Amino acid sequence: MEDKVIKGVGFGILSPDEIRKISVTAIITSEVYDEDGTPIEGGVMDPRLGVIEPGQKCPTCGNQLGQCPGHFGHIELVRPVVHIGFVKHVNDFLSATCRKCGRIKLPEEEIDRYLKIYRAIQSRWQSASKRLVDYVKKTASKATTCPHCGTEQLKIKLEKPITFYEEGKEGLTKLTPSDIRERLERIQDKDVELMGLNPKTSRPELMVLTVLPVPPVTMRPSIMIESGIRAEDDLTHKLVDIIRINERLKESIDAGAPQLIIEDLWDLLQYHISTYFDNEIPGLPPAKHRSGRPLRTLAQRLKGKEGRFRGNLSGKRVDFSARTVISPDPSISIDEVGVPTDVAKILTVPEKVTDWNIEEMRQLVMNGPEKWPGANYIIRPDGRRVDLRYVKDRKALAEGLTPNYIVERHIMNNDVVLFNRQPSLHRISIMAHRARVLPGRTFRLNLLVCPPYNADFDGDEMNLHTPQSEEAVAEAKELMTVHKNILTPRYGGPIMGGTQDYISGAYLMTVKTTLLTKEELSKLLGPVKYSGDVPEPAILSPRPYWTGKQVVSMFLPDNFNFRGPANVSSGTRICKDEDCPHDSFILIKKGKLLTGVFDKKGLGNQQPESVLHWLIKEYPEDYGLWIMDNLFKLFIRFAEIRGLTMTYNDVKIPAEAVSKIAEQSKETRKEIENLIAKFERGELEPIPGRTLEESLENYILDALDKLRNSAGETGSSYLDPFNNAYIMARTGARGSLLNLTQMSAMLGQQSIRGERIKRGYKGRVIPHFKQGDISPEARGFIYSSFSRGLNPIEMFFHAAAGREGLVDTAVRTSQSGYMQRRLINALSDVRLEYDGTVRNISGDLIQTFYGYDGVHPMKSVHGKAIDINRAIERVVGWKR
């Protein structure tokens, strides 16, 4: 099939002649249907305007519903009317041109000179030509006499929205649209051009309508409500109004009615036609439906998020897609997606029948639409589609299959599909997966791909699309597969990687105390695709034991070297090199993990320059995929076997610690009381540039902050650093030290807008305090810990601060969403050319060499073009 390409679309204003030419009929009556409900010829629902009911045949083109594009009609307006969208242009023309001869009110030579400049710059420098036009308009409007015919000029006054007046000596005279049209007709083409319009497509007099096109019924279908009553589209209503007034105006003129009545009707016609174009004109009451709902007329149909442009043209609804809830499945590969059978039976892929797959295809056709794997349609060589749902003898049909048939078969395992989660903020929000048809009703995905989608399983839903052509499949496979997108173009590091239990599991496995018996090792390696040798056990007697580090090393490539601190290397357990008593410095030589533990810094997601990063970057994509599928599976497997949970005891601190903290609290409270007393005596030393009150607040905040920290320190010093909760915090798997201290020691200050909570009643937040009380507990300081529990007042403060977080998130999403929409829109046409320059689609040069070094951030080493130290480490890192 030869593809047709749209080369261009021209914009312009239709002339009355053109409108009449494209029209199939004049619409002459405001009646729509006769008694028995058939549309009247010459009414707005004239059958010649197109088909809207199934089974009808179009009297104009002979096509049926769906094929017939619809046809325009027209209304001859008795009196001309100004087009509401062009009022500004009309105003410009009227004020800049002579009321008698229609020339721009500038001397001839100036017009010629400006025109010459205008023509030269018009296509290249649009903003400059716009300024020129504005200048011409401005100066021409100021002229009081016409330099061409010498006529004295009157000032044109536009009374918003549509009425024009001429300001003469005797006062204002109204300009009727007929007068305006006459004047506009007199303007010469070259003057029109200098006013910034194209005289070939858009003569100014066309902005005053004499004939109104009536859009085809296909774009304003009437719908049947259940009771059999017909409900007409808003546009139809509006058109009926226009015709009715047009008729009345005609009758009045024919009957020789007084000028006043005619003018009123004329204005009414103007109103109806204006609201027909746009029902949100400032200064005009919007036309309303009988129920009081404003009508949705032409402009409203186009604009806004749900309008034609953003709602239907830029964003389209598509076929071959599915959406359902997601749930985790650590046992499928990261580049797979579990598809429910119910979904698989509806999504199809067109597959050409060939000599090599004909038997398979026959089987699929015989299975039909109900049984997976089957097929839903076949397309015969003549292009006819056969719906297998309605075929009685599928067996015969399957027998009749020959090459050149196309079978729309169900999606099957390993078909390439696109998987997406909204909001699609970056390109890795849509990635290609291999389908894996599974029982159940949810999409299943590996936990390691959650970070790029930002997905969790608290009810998230995701979408799935099936590419329909070989080309699309190839592109999806080559560019969008999961393991080709582990590194993000945002900063050139891995965006996928271990999270939560993967991290704890990795830590527990690689920690020095982990020793595995042969049975345990087999149990671990069982579900994993590992085919290499098992190394000599680290401990041979009394019985063989393998260390966790040995097991991990089995998965590392032989030439892999790495040096770097682990996440646990912090605070008192910090290490600068491999001479480390805390085992917190990772050292890998020739693929053997010698010291250190794997935790967030080593294998976590969004950790550039980590073990994981180098493994992904320096070895083939397949290896990255394999590591993520197998090594990580091992980690959760190990965590499962060992068991990992959190108990109350993990955050419980002894009574001794509690009393210590209480002591600290008491001291701080006294300190603050002193501060307040000092403040009241006026002895407080203010911070330069701050008022006394602000200074006091600052001092109090400082003291409270110190208290929380010292309480936290006291609390955590009593916690066992090797209990599960602490391990999770230290390794970066989940939670932080702050969370632990909040559970064990003290919550600390609750804040709103970075200040202590102060709003509420007059002088106090809640009625449990005296007015003007600024003690810590009255302003949202919480002495309790989560494990001890909060008292009602503390609980209120906690909720108030928590609410701020929620509000903040809601506001932020909308703001950053809009910013991103603007960024994308502004930069969407920018691409890299073959010569290495960055240009937009018009060819304007933006960068002579991308990023000034030509390096793709995704392929860079965390932003660097080359990383010499890493290169040295890779080659000779094992030596030191």
Identify which of residues 255 and 318 has a Cβ nearer to another protein in the complex: 318
Looking up tokens 């660097």 gives 864
CB of 201 to another protein, least distance (A): 3
CA–centroid distance for 19 within its chain: 41
Q: What does the alpha-carbon distance between residue 34 and residue 94 come to, in Å, rounded to a whole number?
A: 46
Identify which of residues 7 and 384 has a Cβ nearer to another protein in the complex: 7
Tokens of 492: 């050139």
Identify which of residues 42 and 199 has a Cβ nearer to another protein in the complex: 199
CB of 255 to another protein, least distance (A): 37
CB of 268 to another protein, least distance (A): 23
Tokens of 850: 């991308």
CB of 490 to another protein, least distance (A): 4
CA–centroid distance for 306 within its chain: 15
Identify which of residues 126 and 173 has a Cβ nearer to another protein in the complex: 126
Tokens of 771: 């007015």
**Alpha carbon distances (Å) from 218 to 68, 295, 339, 487, 870:** 9, 18, 39, 49, 66
Identify which of residues 130 and 371 has a Cβ nearer to another protein in the complex: 130
CB of 488 to another protein, least distance (A): 8
Other CB atoms closer than 10 Å to residue 96's CB: what's the count? 25
Identify which of residues 10 and 789 has a Cβ nearer to another protein in the complex: 10
Between strands 430-438 and 416-420, the pairing is antiparallel
Q: What does the alpha-carbon distance between residue 409 and residue 440 come to, in Å, rounded to a whole number?
A: 21
Identify which of residues 119 and 441 has a Cβ nearer to another protein in the complex: 119
CB of 167 to another protein, least distance (A): 26
CB of 473 to another protein, least distance (A): 13
CB of 655 to another protein, least distance (A): 38
CB of 784 to another protein, least distance (A): 26
Surface-to-core class of residue 186, CB atoms within 10 Å of its CB (0-12 exposed, 13-18 middle, 19+ buried): middle
All residues at 6 or more sequence positions from 114 whose CB lies less than 8 Å from its CB, including other chains: 106, 132, 136, 194
Cβ atoms of 192 and 140 closer than 8 Å:
no
Q: Considering only CA atoms, which of 820, 503, 836, 791 is closest in space to residue 638?
A: 503
Surface-to-core class of residue 822, CB atoms within 10 Å of its CB (0-12 exposed, 13-18 middle, 19+ buried): exposed
CB of 865 to another protein, least distance (A): 6
Identify which of residues 298 and 445 has a Cβ nearer to another protein in the complex: 298
Identify which of residues 54 and 282 has a Cβ nearer to another protein in the complex: 282
CB of 790 to another protein, least distance (A): 25
Between strands 155-159 and 163-168, the pairing is antiparallel
By residue count, the chain amounts to 880
CB of 14 to another protein, least distance (A): 9
Q: Considering only CA atoms, which of 853, 802, 846, 856 is closest in space to residue 826?
A: 846
DSSP string for 712-774:
HHHHHHTS-TTSHHHHHHHHTSS--HHHHHHHHT--EE-EETTEE---SBTTBSSTTS-TT--
Tokens of 133: 């036009």
CB of 33 to another protein, least distance (A): 32
CB of 62 to another protein, least distance (A): 26
Surface-to-core class of residue 739, CB atoms within 10 Å of its CB (0-12 exposed, 13-18 middle, 19+ buried): middle
Other CB atoms closer than 10 Å to residue 182's CB: what's the count? 15
All residues at 6 or more sequence positions from 532 whose CB lies less than 8 Å from its CB, including other chains: 554
Q: H or E segment at 59?
A: none
Identify which of residues 75 and 752 has a Cβ nearer to another protein in the complex: 752
CB of 117 to another protein, least distance (A): 17
CA–centroid distance for 748 within its chain: 37
Q: Considering only CA atoms, which of 783, 774, 770, 779 is closest in space to residue 797?
A: 779
Beta-bridge mates of residue 782: 748
Q: Considering only CA atoms, which of 493, 410, 395, 495 is closest in space to residue 455?
A: 495
Cβ atoms of 477 and 432 closer than 8 Å:
yes
Cα radius of gyration rounded to whole Å, the chain: 38
CB of 368 to another protein, least distance (A): 32
Identify which of residues 517 and 848 has a Cβ nearer to another protein in the complex: 848
SS3 of 84-136: the string is HHHHHHHHHHHHHECCCCCCECCCHHHHHHHHHHHHHHCCCCHHHHHHHHHHH
Identify which of residues 413 and 691 has a Cβ nearer to another protein in the complex: 691
